[in-house]
Homo-oligomer: A and B are copies of this chain.
Amino acid sequence: MNKPEARTRIQERNRAAILDAGLDVFSQFGFRGATLDQIAEAAGLSKPNLLYYFPSKESVYETLLQELLHTWLDPLRAMRPEGDAVGEILGYVRRKLEMSRDYPRESRLFANEILQGAPRIMPALTGELRDLVNDKAAVIRGWSAAGRIATIDPHHLIFSIWALTQHYADFDVQVQAVLGPGDPYPAATAYLEQLFRRLLTG
C-alpha cells in the first residue's frame, strides 16, 4: 500500500539506488554541499522521482545516518570481557580496519557529519555511543587491573583505534598521494597489529 510497509520490487530497487547515490554524494560533499539533482542523477532517476520515494533531502540523509550507526558500533559491541584481552582488542582493530577498507563511504559520511558539528547525530553520540564506550572502557580497565594488558587510559585507547583505522578511509586520497597507487591495507594491518600489541603488552 504505502511506502514504509509492503515494498514492491521496484520500490526496493529505487530506494536502494537512492541511498547508494546519496552515500556517494553526501560522503563527499556533506549535507549542505550535496544537491538533490546530483543524487538523482547518480541514482539514475529524475529529481521529482527521487522525491517520490523520499520526502526531502534531509530524509535521505537521515536514513543513511541511521543505518550507519546501526552497523558502526557492532565491532565494538563484539568485544567480549571473557575473551583473551589482547586478542579481543586486536580483533576490534582488525574488524574496524576492514570496515574502513570495505565501507569507506560510510566512514567519510560519519566524518563529514562530525566535522559539521554533528548537528543531526549528537543525541546518538551522547547517548548510545557514550554508554557503549563507557561500558567497554570499564571492561578494558578491568583487564588492566587484572594485569592482562598494560595500564592505559581506556577511553583514549578507543579513540586511538578509531583514529588510526578510520584514517585509511577518510584520508585515503592523501595516503594514496604519498604512497602511490596500490593497496595500503596489507601494510596498514601489519603496522597496526604491531603498534597495539606493543602498546598493550608494554
Write the residues of chain A forming the contact surface with B, with a CB cutoff of 8 angstroms: 27-34, 108, 111-112, 114-118, 122, 125-126, 129-130, 133-134, 150, 152-153, 155-157, 159-160, 162-164, 166-168, 170-171, 173-175, 177-179, 187-188, 190-192, 194-195, 198-199, 202
A157 CA / B171 CA spacing, docked (Å): 15
**Interchain CB contact under 8 A, B33 and A31:** yes
12 contacts between A and B (CB under 8 A): A29-B33, A33-B33, A111-B111, A117-B173, A129-B178, A155-B178, A156-B191, A160-B164, A160-B167, A163-B171, A194-B199, A198-B198
The oligomer's copy count stands at 2
Cα(A29)–Cα(B114), bound, Å:
11
Contact between B28 and A115, CB atoms less than 8 A apart: yes
Q: Closest chain B residue to A27 by CB distance?
A: B115
Taking the closest CB of chain B, its distance from the CB of A95, in whole angstroms, is 17
Inter-chain contacts of A202 with B (CB < 8 A): 194, 198, 202
Known: A30-B30, A162-B171. 10 other contacts (CB 8 A): A28-B117, A30-B115, A31-B33, A33-B116, A114-B174, A129-B174, A130-B178, A153-B187, A155-B178, A198-B198
Chief secondary structure at chain A's binding surface: helix
Residues of the B chain whose Cβ atoms lie less than 8 Å from the Cβ of A192: 156, 160
Q: Quick one: which of A30, A108, A177 has the most chain B CB within 10 A?
A: A177
Q: For the complex, give the distance between the alpha carbons of A92 and B108 in Å.
A: 27
